[in-house]
Amino acid sequence: MKIFKTLTAEAPEKVFVSLLLGVFSGIGYAFLIPLILVSFNGDSAFEVIAPAEGGSSILEIKNAKFALAFFSSCLLIICSRTISQLILTRVAIDATVALRTKYYESILYAPLECLERVGESRLIASITNDIRSVIQGAQLMPDLLISLVTITGMMGFLAYLNIDIFRFICWAIFFGVISFQIPMILAGKLVKKSREKVDDLHESINGVIKGVKELKLSSDKRHYFFKSNLLESESQLKKSSKSALSVMRAAINYGDMMSFFVVGYIAFLFASFNLVSDGELFGAIMVLLYITGPISVIMNALPQIVTSNISLDKVEKIFGDMPKETVLQHNFSFSEFKSIHFKDVRYCYEDLSGGGAFEVGPLSFSIKAGEVIFIVGGNGSGKSTLAKMITAHYRPSAGVINVGLQAVDDKTIVGYRNNIAAIYTDYHLFENILGDTSESFDAFVRELLVRLKLGHAVSYQRGRFSTLKLSDGQRKRLALICALLENKQLYLFDEWAADQDPEFKQVFYHEILPHLRSQGKIVVVISHDERYFSSADRVIELEDGKISKVTVMSIDAPGRSRPNESVADANIL
């Protein structure tokens, strides 16, 4: 079974040892009943012997050999079963971490458009729920094996007791397995359907958590969302889960009772038509009653195994279909990173709605070091799409991007990205500064915190900010500090200043940008702040994915300076 491979792939030797111990344990179980039955041999295993004088009666073991074998089997079961389960539990924990790590890597190395297509909710649901479910199923391995070995051993004993009873039971098992498959196939389909509903539910949960502010503002909206989205998703999941579990429970009970039907048949009918001694009949019934335990273990494990297999399919569908960027993960070093050239670059979204895909391009322009470019345009004109092409998150469908004379391609793209610091509209602020956090940074960061008026709200020590519980504007200023610390060659700000006070807009447009220009950086700013367009060297206007206008700004405009020229008011850095 596929789910078991997740464990065997992690530590094959340990899993092998665990299974071997499971087999020993199963053999131990399979010996218990035969030992008792053989030791009875028509008499009592214990004989009351004369009480010692003045003392109470004691029991003396008559069949010491069998008794010893019996207790040795018990000991074997305790030791082998415990060690087997301990080993597998540890392997399961390692396998869970290994699987999650593999999928973290898949996410980190997948093309951005692919992650955007799958969506946050489905990724989180798979990494958290599905992987846990797969491992829970795989962990049942030793118990299943113990039960299978026990049943096999007991069947062997039955064959030894009476071959006719053995044959009859083989047919009963065959019939049971076949008739059990029908409800299980139906249950599998229902579990699959219910798993699909989990994604919808996650989407709704995301909505209730992220959209709580909007929902609180309107009781109608809240009521509608609660009923039509959240409760509807819950109700669909509840319906499909209940159906799946009902079918499965009924199938399990049928399977459980099958063994008692067989016991009843043998006890009341079989003996009437076949030549079976009382001893054989008694032995067969004991064996059959005994194996109802292992059968029950297998039956009860089946729902988890079905669910785990479906979870594994889901994980494989999401992550198996997720391509890895075919790029060389080598930090290519450009001979110089002084200019970027777009030549007839296009990017076309996949047409998912059928209403025609949006295309950006063909775009041809260059940006030099020490230049600040503003990209402007109406909503939906393609600014953010172009930003993602500039930062090489979206690879062009046509055309080329060069750094100087060197192309940004599979061999150089990782090196290209390593030269970029960006703040997107949906940026993420990490809790600590990732990378070099040497003490030399401390004074610099503290100075920036004070200049951006964050000094009272946040303190910084050794790569960590004291808190991220800040206003939106403050968080964005903190993101700006992190970006500046990176000291990259290309800076991209996607509407950074949109939610800043005029005071900080001023700092951004008239101090930060001129400073970056003076440092010879390539700076791309997506902006709607017309008041500050004069801070740019050039303003590229987009309309419907194409460049509609390029304006070269006057060198004398406020907030302007040439590369390497000291900036009078860029006094923060």
Ligand X SMILES: Nc1ncnc2c1ncn2[C@@H]1O[C@H](COP(=O)(O)OP(=O)(O)OP(=O)(O)O)[C@@H](O)[C@H]1O
Q: Is the CB of residue 393 less than 8 Å from the CB of residue 347?
A: no
The pair of three-digit structure tokens given for residue 244, joined into one six-digit string: 């799946």
Closest CB to ligand X among residues 357, 405: 357
Separation in Å, CA 151 to CA 38, 69, 202, 290, 378:
18, 19, 42, 9, 72
| Shortest Å, Cβ 404 to ligand X | 27
Provide, rounded to whole angstroms, the least separation between the CB of residue 116 and ligand X. Answer: 5
Which of the 8 DSSP states describes residue 50?
P
Helix axes 232-264, 163-210, angle to 10 degrees: 170
Cβ proximity to ligand X: between 161 and 540 the closer is: 540
Burial label for 222, CB within 10 Å (0-12, 13-18, 19+), is: middle
* DSSP structure string for 355-395: S---EEEEEEEEEETTEEEEEEESTTSSHHHHHHHHTTSS-
Q: 10 Å Cβ neighbour count for 51?
A: 10
Question: Is residue 158 within 8 Å of 259, Cβ to Cβ?
Answer: no
Least distance in angstroms from the C-beta of 119 to ligand X:
10
3-state secondary structure of 146: helix
Q: Report H helices in 487-549.
A: 502-507, 513-518
Nearest distance, CB of residue 512 and ligand X, angstroms: 21
CB of 544 to ligand X, least distance (A): 9
Q: Count other C-beta atoms under 10 Å from residue 532's C-beta.
A: 21
CB closer to ligand X, 263 vs 401:
401
Question: CB–CB of 341/401 below 8 Å?
Answer: yes
**Residue number with CB closer to ligand X (52 or 352):** 352
Minimum gap (Å) between residue 522 Cβ and ligand X: 20
How far, in Å, CA of 343 to CA of 401, rounded?
A: 6
The whole-angstrom separation of Cα 392 and Cα 434 is 21
Q: ∠522-528-530 over CA atoms, to 5°?
A: 90
| Min dist. Cβ of residue 363 to ligand X (A) | 12
Nearer CB in complex with ligand X: 303/382: 382
- Which is closer to ligand X, CB of 121 or CB of 162? 121
Q: Which of 527, 493, 490, 513 is nearest to 561 (CA)?
A: 513
End-to-end CA distance of the chain: 61
What residue ranges bind ligand X (CB under 6 A)? 116, 349, 358, 377, 379-385
Cα gap 80→62, rounded to integer Å:
28
Q: Which is nearer to ligand X, 379 or 440 (CB)?
A: 379
* C-beta closer to ligand X: residue 321 or 543: 543
Q: Which amino acid is at 193?
A: K
Q: Rounded to the nearest whole angstrom, what is the least distance from the CB of residue 181 to ligand X in the complex?
A: 43
Residue with Cβ nearer ligand X (309 or 381): 381
How many angstroms separate the CA atoms of 489 and 369, rounded? 8
Q: How far is the CB of 358 from ligand X (least distance, A)?
A: 4
**Which residue, 385 or 391, has its beta carbon nearer to ligand X?**
385
Residues 6+ apart with CB under 8 A from 52: 58
Q: With respect to ligand X, which residue has the nearer C-beta, 40 or 349?
A: 349
Smaller CB separation from ligand X, 194 or 381 = 381
Q: How far is the CB of 545 from ligand X (least distance, A)?
A: 7
Shortest distance, position 383 Cβ to ligand X, whole Å: 4
Shortest CB 233 distance to ligand X, Å? 23
Give alpha helix (H) positions in 211-277: 212-216, 219-224, 232-264, 271-273
SS3 call for 422: strand
By beta-carbon proximity to ligand X, the closer residue of 301 and 376 is: 376
**How many angstroms separate the CA atoms of 398 and 340, rounded?**
16
Shortest Cβ 364–ligand X spacing (Å): 18
Contact between residue 497 and residue 527 where contact means Cβ atoms under 8 Å apart = yes
Q: What one-letter code names the amino acid at 146?
A: I
Is 494 within 8 Å of 384 (Cβ atoms)? yes
Query: For residues 527 and 537, what is the distance between their CA atoms, to the nearest angstrom?
Result: 14
For residue 215, the minimal CB distance to ligand X (Å) is: 24
Distance CA 571, CA 562 (A): 16
